[in-house]
């Protein structure tokens, strides 16, 4: 079993300050095997914003797998945007735009889906997909395979026309061939998850697609700040949304708390949610598109 803290859309430049210490404390208490950061570290790709994000990530446990998002590409500097869209990210955060984490149970591959030609949307190049294919193919049998992009493969249930990764269906043959089990993404600032087949009717493999809300920014979209606590094992995946709950005077202090736990089992028909527990229904509006059973 492995545990992944999946955080996303930090947006330094639009931070809600109390959340930073709250996230540090929560991750220090839970000690994940891996921290995944699925992009949008900054609001405007400015050097000071990258530096603040890096200083914050140093306060979180490791190992970490970090990729950029569309907000980590400059918006107003047209020259930088066209000729060095990830220059700031590579200078301040990491030169590695295809990070890989692997141990004897888990392999996680990150790919940069942010592009200079579009501010919001994103996609993957043929070269990126080919590289991911080679990396996943080298993993041992029984390894749980995870792909991380900033742009999600599936839309939220409440926004079926939302901005998902472009050309998504063209990546499916490779994801199916190498046996990807789980996709992690952010971008829409909404926490939701479902089987990939809910959106791509032609897909032949059941792959779980999990999106995280914004962990630390004020750019909330009707949901509290949150991150995902994910437990993986070969045929099981539990997604716990840990949402920020404001404190009460004289009562509970403000903290990230478990707000919805969904347990998926992978059987002959693919991933299926077998149990969903709203720990505190008032704390979060978090949805899965799937029907729950049991
Ligand atoms: Fe974002
Ligand atoms: Fe984004």
Mean pLDDT of the chain: 91
Domain that holds residue 225: 2-288
For residue 78, is pLDDT > 90?
A: no
CA of 250 to the centre of ligand 2 (A): 37
What CATH number did the domain enclosing 179 receive?
Answer: 3.60.21.10
pLDDT tens per residue across span 55-73: 999 999 999 999 999 999 9
Q: What is the CA(114)–ligand 1 centre distance, in A? A: 11
Among the bound ligands, the one closest to the CA of 9: 1
Is 153 within a domain?
A: yes
Quote the ligand 2 centre to 153 CA distance (angstroms).
Answer: 13
pLDDT score at 121:
87
Residue 114 belongs to some domain of the structure: yes
Distance from Cα 112 to the centre of ligand 1, integer Å: 14
Question: What is the distance in A from the centroid of ligand 2 to the CA of 141?
Answer: 33
DSSP for 131-158, written as a single string? HHHHHHHTSPTT-EEEEE-SS-SS--TT
Edge-to-edge strand ranges of the sheet holding 106-110: 100-102, 106-110, 144-148, 182-185, 208-211, 192-195, 287-288
Question: Which residues, 6 or more positions from 48, have their beta carbon under 8 angstroms from its beta carbon?
Answer: none
Q: What is the pLDDT of residues 228-274, one digit of tens each?
A: 999 999 899 999 999 999 888 888 889 999 999 999 999 999 999 99
Position 84 scores a pLDDT of 78
Instruction: Report if residue 206 sits inside a domain.
Output: yes
Whole-number Å distance between alpha carbons of 117 and 83: 11
- Ligand 2 centroid to residue 56 C-alpha, Å: 19
* Residue 293 within a domain: no
The mean pLDDT of 204-226, rounded to a whole number, is: 96
Could you give the CA distance from residue 203 to residue 264 in angstroms, rounded to a whole number?
Answer: 19
23 lies in some domain = yes
Select from 237, 230, 294, 232 the least CA-distant residue to 271. 237
User: Ligand 2 centroid vs 288 CA: distance in angstroms?
Assistant: 20
If pLDDT is split at 50, 70 and 90, which confidence band does 284 have? very low
Calculate how far, in angstroms, residue 204's C-alpha sits from the geometric centre of ligand 1.
Answer: 30
CA distances from 273 to 144, 233, 236 (A): 18, 15, 10
| Total count of domains within the chain | 1
Which ligand places an atom closest to the C-alpha of 115?
Answer: 2
Percent of the chain with pLDDT over 90: 81
Q: Find the mean pLDDT for residues 83-90.
A: 87
Q: Which of 105, 133, 102 is nearest to 235 (CA)?
A: 105
| pLDDT the model gives residue 280 | 56
Per-residue model confidence (pLDDT) at position 23:
98
Find the 7 Cα to ligand 1 centroid distance in Å: 11
Average pLDDT over residues 106-124: 90
Q: Residue 79: what pLDDT?
A: 67
pLDDT at 44 over 90: yes
Is 294 part of any domain?
no
Confidence bin at 120 (pLDDT 50/70/90): confident
- What is the whole-number distance in angstroms between the Cα of residue 9 and the centre of ligand 2? 7
Q: Ligand 2 centroid vs 107 CA: distance in angstroms?
A: 24
Q: Which ligand is nearest to the CA of 216?
A: 1
Question: Which ligand is nearest the CA of 75, by number?
Answer: 2
**Cα–ligand 2 centroid distance for 43 (angstroms):** 9
Centroid of ligand 2 to alpha carbon of 251 (angstroms): 35
What percent of the chain shows pLDDT beyond 70? 93
Q: How confident is the model at residue 281 (pLDDT cuts 50, 70, 90)?
A: very low
Those residues whose C-beta lies under 8 Å from the C-beta of residue 211, and which sit 6 or more positions away, are: 8, 152, 154, 156, 184, 185, 186, 187, 188, 190, 191, 192, 193
Q: Residue 192 pairs with which residues in a beta bridge?
A: 211, 287
Distance from the CA of 266 to the center of ligand 1, in angstroms?
A: 30
Ligand 2 center from residue 142 Cα (angstroms): 32
Q: How far is the CA of 95 from the centre of ligand 1 (A)?
A: 21
pLDDT of residue 275: 78
Q: How far is the CA of 11 from the centre of ligand 1 (A)?
A: 7
Confidence of residue 208 (pLDDT cuts 50, 70, 90): very high
Tell me: pLDDT of 163 over 70. yes
CA of 8 to the centre of ligand 2 (A): 9
């Amino acid at each position: 079993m492995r545990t992944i803290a999946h955080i996303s859309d930090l947006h330094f430049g639009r931070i809600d300050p109390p959340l930073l210490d709250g996230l540090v404390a929560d991750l220090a208490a839970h000690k994940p095997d891996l921290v995944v950061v699925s992009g949008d570290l900054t609001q405007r790709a400015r050097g000071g914003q990258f530096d603040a994000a890096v200083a914050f990530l140093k306060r979180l446990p490791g190992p970490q797998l970090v990729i950029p998002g569309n907000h980590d590409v400059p918006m107003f500097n047209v020259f930088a945007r066209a000729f060095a869209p990830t220059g700031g990210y590579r200078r301040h955060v990491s030169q590695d735009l295809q990070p890989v984490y692997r141990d004897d149970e888990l392999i996680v591959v990150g790919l940069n889906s942010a592009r200079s030609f579009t501010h919001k949307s994103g996609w993957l190049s043929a070269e990126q997909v080919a590289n991911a294919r080679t990396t996943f193919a080298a993993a041992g049998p029984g390894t749980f395979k995870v792909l991380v992009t900033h742009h999600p493969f599936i839309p939220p249930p409440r926004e079926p026309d939302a901005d998902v990764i472009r050309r998504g269906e063209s990546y499916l043959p490779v994801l199916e061939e190498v046996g990807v089990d789980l996709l992690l993404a952010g971008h829409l600032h909404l926490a939701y998850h479902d089987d990939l087949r809910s959106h791509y009717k032609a897909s032949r493999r059941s792959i779980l697609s999990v999106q995280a809300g914004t962990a630390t920014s004020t750019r909330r979209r009707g949901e509290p700040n949150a991150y995902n606590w994910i437990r993986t094992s070969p045929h099981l995946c539990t997604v716990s949304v840990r949402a920020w709950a404001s404190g009460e005077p004289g009562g509970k202090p403000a903290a990230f708390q478990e707000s919805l736990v969904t347990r998926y089992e992978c059987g002959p028909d693919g991933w299926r949610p077998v149990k969903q527990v709203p720990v505190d229904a008032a704390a979060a509006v978090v949805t899965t598109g799937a029907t729950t059973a049991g």
